[in-house]
């Protein structure tokens, strides 16, 4: 793989962002969480940071947005740190589904009735119930503090408008959670588990925050800027594998072929990805394709990966 340096990227990036922005008109903002439909549909921004802390950004990189499903990577890691692999994988599986992220189809079709993986909604709700803490508030605080630590940004907080908007309209997630409770997958009260889940999905970030978190994953759990070991290497390996096989939902296979990097998307339009050992990347583009991934964001990452030969495969 030829080396690309950050100056080279910064020369080319603004034009690529402008070109990928043209894709925005072909997608839609998420509307099933009403507050998310207010996001600027034409926006596209990116931030990239290297192992020495040099960073570049382009487009609407200052836009604040909620992590949504990107937070599932970090609740998975925290649940693994709290419980170990055996307990976690007794409650969620390790396989892609090929279904939409909010599908509950296979929960009833396939025994033992545990969610297929921790990145679909059903799996992430199961993971929320495995976060240590005496009540929903303490669990949510632990998730927030973990994400603050990884992003090196102690001012991150939950966007309460998005949280309330999701909580008030989450009939599908609620039905899934009650189903999981009946199947013996969820610990504790269903509404408490859902509260932890809605709150972590609503943590508000910018591209720079995602890039910083991605940089830690790109360095197998160590922040290369401080030398702090924040996550055991094995759990980063598990998280990056799920990002590769399930991180872009039922477009993960296509993304692996077109971009070839571990990544996780969210319905607010964020994408967290990385070039292992080299770059952490955070991106926002609220216009989504039919699979729920940022339409312009995927296009931009495809251009970058192909131009710089970043694919791992």
What is the contact surface with ligand DON in residues (CB under 6 A)? Answer: 68-69, 101-102, 121, 166, 173, 201, 249, 265-267, 292
- Catalytic residue among 17, 196, 259, 267, which? 267
- Rounded Cα gap, residues 285 and 303, in angstroms: 15
Among candidate residues 20, 57, 69, 294, the one labeled active-site is: 69
Catalytic residue among 20, 71, 72, 143: 72
Query: Which burial class, exposed, middle or buried, applies to 277 when counting CB atoms under 10 A from its CB (0-12, 13-18, 19+)?
Result: exposed
267 is catalytic: yes
Q: How far apart are CA 102 and CA 125, in angstroms?
A: 11
- Nearest CB to ligand DON, comparing residues 151 and 165: 165
State residue 288 phi and psi, 5-degree precision: -105, 150
Indicate the residue among 74 and 101 with the shorter CB distance to ligand DON: 101
Name the catalytic one among 162, 165, 205, 249.
249
- Taking a C-beta distance cutoff of 8 angstroms, is the pair 95, 191 a contact? no
Annotated catalytic residue 69: yes
Active site residue 235: no
Which residue, 250 or 303, is less far from ligand DON as judged by CB?
250
Q: How far is the CB of 189 from ligand DON (least distance, A)?
A: 18
Catalytic-residue membership of 264? no
Q: Are 177 and 115 in contact (CB under 8 A)?
A: no
Name the residue nearer to ligand DON (CB basis): 4 or 128: 128
CA distance 279 to 251: 23
Dihedral sign of CA atoms 304, 280, 28, 102 in order: positive
Q: Is 216 a catalytic residue?
A: no
Report, as residue numbers or ranges, the catalytic residues: 69, 72, 197, 249, 267
């Amino acid at each position: 793989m030829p080396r690309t340096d950050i100056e080279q990227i910064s020369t080319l990036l603004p034009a690529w962002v402008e070109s990928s922005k043209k894709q925005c008109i072909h997608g839609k903002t998420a509307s099933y969480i009403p507050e998310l439909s207010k996001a600027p549909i034409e926006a596209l921004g990116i931030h990239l940071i290297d192992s020495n802390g040099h960073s570049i950004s382009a487009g609407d990189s200052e836009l604040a947005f909620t992590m949504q499903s990107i937070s599932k990577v970090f609740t998975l890691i925290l649940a693994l740190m709290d419980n170990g692999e055996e307990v976690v994988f007794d409650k969620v599986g390790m396989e892609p589904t090929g279904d939409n992220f909010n599908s509950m189809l296979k929960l009833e079709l396939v025994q033992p009735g545990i969610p297929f993986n921790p990145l679909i909604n059903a799996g992430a709700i199961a993971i929320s119930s495995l976060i240590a803490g005496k009540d929903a508030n303490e669990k949510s605080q632990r998730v927030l503090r973990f994400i603050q630590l990884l992003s090196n940004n102690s001012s991150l907080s939950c966007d309460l408008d998005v949280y309330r908007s999701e909580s008030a309209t989450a009939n599908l997630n609620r039905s899934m959670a009650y189903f999981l409770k009946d199947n013996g997958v969820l610990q504790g009260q269903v509404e408490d588990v859902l509260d932890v889940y809605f709150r972590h999905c609503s943590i508000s970030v910018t591209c720079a925050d995602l890039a910083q978190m991605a940089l830690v994953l790109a360095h197998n759990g160590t922040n290369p800027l401080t030398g702090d070991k924040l996550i055991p290497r094995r759990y980063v390996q598990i998280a990056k594998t799920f990002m590769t096989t399930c991180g872009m939902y039922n477009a993960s296979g296509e993304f692996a072929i077109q971009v070839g990097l571990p990544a996780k998307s969210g319905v607010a339009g964020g994408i967290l990805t990385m070039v292992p050992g080299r770059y952490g990347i955070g991106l926002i583009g609220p216009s989504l394709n039919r699979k729920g991934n940022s339409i312009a964001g995927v296009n931009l990452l495809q251009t970058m990966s192909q131009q710089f030969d970043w694919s791992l495969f």
